[in-house]
Amino acid sequence: MNIHFKSISNIIVITVFLWQASAFHGRAQVRNVAITIHLHGVYESKISLLSLSGNKIFKSSAEVQGIKNGETTRFSVSKENLPGEFVLRFDYKEKESSTAYPSEKYIFINDQDLELWISPIYCNNIDSTWFQKGERENATFVQFSKENGRQKEKLGLLQNFLMNYDDTESQFYQQGIKEYEQRRQSYNKWLTTRTLQDKALFVSRQYCFQYMPEISWKGDETDRIKNLINHYFDGMDFKDSLLIKTSDLNKWMDSYVNLYGQLSTTAALRDSLFPEAGITAIEEARQGHPLVYGWMVDYFYRGYETNGITAGMKILEPYMNDPNCLTSKRQEIARRLQGMETLVAGSRAPNIIMKDIDGNQFELNTLETQCKYILVLFWSAGCSHCVEMVNSLYPWQQQMEVQQKIKVVSISLDETETDIKAWEQKIGGLKGWKHLHEAEGVRSKVAGDYFVLATPVMVLLDARTKEIIATPNTLNDLLTAIQ
């Protein structure tokens, strides 16, 4: 059986995840939000809305083609993605004969419907692009960014002076240190006040990344970096779960790891310092929200895996097994366990759009058959339990009276080269079934839509309405369902 947790104790842990996840989602939006876009300044444009995905890249969530100059279009943003950061991407043509050219505008969406008048050519110019009067999130962030730039300007000048001044023992230099520290503390105090002032807005989660940590001006460059590391997390509130909805958290952590990179003069030192960076950061996040704690473990897992840092992977083991650590994998398990409860008799089955083994487009919603039932079977040739089920199911279903009742759509979730070859060989003896293969396995969209955590999974549908009749676990359950 292909499964991602193997014992009763793990099921108990998952129950804890569900409770924690539901506690978090209780803070989420209560409705979808609409964004209305008025296009001007170009002949036409394709408009895409990109949302921030779990691995901190922006992925298209909706798009509309061929919006002409002067026309209006509208997107609905799912409450599950809110609040958050988004990108509006325009592939526009200035003239009918022009080649499409891209432009992007980063926006924040919270609980307020948005209306945006935009010229893609100048989409980041306030004279050509503007939101409706009274818009809060984006207007506040623009205002904050301007004031923040003014506040930081003199601090930056002082910092450059202190970094490059040659006589570090002079009274003039000491006076510069004193002035810098006064201004740093004053700036951080302003930042805290501004964060409290805007705490009802999602954009206020961006402010903490501007915090200026303490710098020691004594010693050499190495001493300075070590001091920055020691104070890097001083201005961060890891109890705020909405931090993980920002793209700046990833950039901010990259800067933290780069400080260790500056100290890593050899490969051996790197393999020792980067695990230390992980432990320090994770222990800080561990005191905060379980989702932030889980995000931090995910962050270092990706880094250690990509760079082949075995020592780093080993230090993550106790955190990965901590039930309070809501990594992306645990969140997905919790989501799917909750989602299983929605796949009940009478509910509409999620549509399936894939290529079949002959390269033809398959769509469940438009599938027509004379059979009364459709059986959707998720399985893997690399799963012995799945093969046993298929070996029992196939000869039974091939009986004339059963074959006329049930059409089987089998979806392979095999991922490895060995398992895929075994699947290809196996289906040679499974004539009459519709065979599909999903290369991403249980991580795929179709597996996610059906909340598949383990194989095999059977879903029996009414062939006409595509409504779920049953989710049998065994062949006997299936027999009972069709009687």
Q: Which tens digit of pLDDT belongs to each residue from 266-325?
A: 888 888 899 999 999 999 999 999 999 999 999 999 898 888 888 899 999 999 889 899
Instruction: Judge whether residue 132 has pLDDT over 50.
Output: yes
Instruction: Judge whether residue 332 has pLDDT over 90.
Output: no
Q: Give the rounded percent of residues in the chain with a pLDDT score beyond 70.
A: 93
Instruction: Judge whether residue 3 has pLDDT over 60.
Output: no
Q: What is the pLDDT of residue 150?
A: 93
pTM of the complete model: 0.74
Examine residue 329 and state whether it is found in any structural domain, yes or no: no
Examine residue 64 and state whether it is found in any structural domain, yes or no: yes
Examine residue 403 and state whether it is found in any structural domain, yes or no: yes
Among the residue ranges 329-333, 407-411, 432-436, the one predicted with the least confidence is: 329-333
Cα 312 to Cα 179: distance, rounded to the nearest angstrom: 40
Cα–Cα–Cα angle for 280, 281, 286, nearest 5°?
100
Q: Half-sphere exposure of residue 293, counting CA atoms within 13 Å on the CB side? A: 20
* Domain extent for 404: 342-482
Helix or strand holding residue 249 (H, E): helix 248-263
Tens of pLDDT, residue by residue over 28-71, are 567 899 999 999 999 999 999 999 876 667 888 889 999 999 99
Predicted confidence band of residue 17 (pLDDT cuts 50, 70, 90)? very low
Note the maximum CA span of the chain.
98
Examine residue 205 and state whether it is found in any structural domain, yes or no: no
Among the residue ranges 182-186, 322-326, 330-334, the one predicted with the least confidence is: 330-334
Domain boundary, last residue among 109, 131, 153: 131
Cα 461 to Cα 374: distance, rounded to the nearest angstrom: 5
Examine residue 300 and state whether it is found in any structural domain, yes or no: no
Q: What is the pLDDT of residue 27?
A: 52
Task: Select the highest-mean-pLDDT range: 25-39, 105-119, 267-281, 337-351.
Answer: 105-119
Examine residue 44 and state whether it is found in any structural domain, yes or no: yes
Cα 49 to Cα 62: distance, rounded to the nearest angstrom: 5
**3-state helix/strand/coil string of 88-106:** EEEEEECCCCCCCEEEEEE
pLDDT higher for 7 or 177?
177
Cα 392 to Cα 25: distance, rounded to the nearest angstrom: 42
Q: Which two tokens stand for residue 372?
A: 């009364």
Residue type for 85, please? E
Q: What is the pLDDT of residue 28?
A: 55
CATH of the domain at 85: 2.60.40.180
Instruction: Judge whether residue 15 has pLDDT over 90.
Output: no
Domain boundary, last residue among 82, 110, 131: 131
Q: What is the pLDDT of residue 333?
A: 76
Instruction: Judge whether residue 335 has pLDDT over 80.
Output: no
Examine residue 253 and state whether it is found in any structural domain, yes or no: no
Domain boundary, last residue among 71, 98, 131: 131
Helix or strand holding residue 431 (H, E): none
User: Mean per-residue pLDDT for 66-82?
Assistant: 94
Among the residue ranges 8-12, 34-38, 331-335, 463-467, the one predicted with the least confidence is: 8-12
User: Cis (ω within 30 of 0) for the bond into 350?
Assistant: no
Predicted confidence band of residue 483 (pLDDT cuts 50, 70, 90)? confident
CATH of the domain at 447: 3.40.30.10
Among the residue ranges 99-113, 210-224, 236-250, 457-471, the one predicted with the least confidence is: 210-224
Question: What integer best gives the mean pLDDT of the chain?
Answer: 89
CA 161 distance to own-chain centroid: 41
Q: What is the pLDDT of residue 211?
A: 96
Asked if 377 and 411 count as a contact pair (C-beta separation under 8 A), the reply is: yes
Q: What is the pLDDT of residue 22?
A: 44
Q: Which two tokens stand for residue 129?
A: 């692009």
Instruction: Judge whether residue 6 has pLDDT over 50.
Output: no
User: Mean per-residue pLDDT for 382-408?
Assistant: 93
Q: What is the pLDDT of residue 56?
A: 66
- How many domains does one find in the chain? 2
Q: Which of 379, 355, 278 is nearest to 320 (CA)?
A: 278
Examine residue 423 and state whether it is found in any structural domain, yes or no: yes
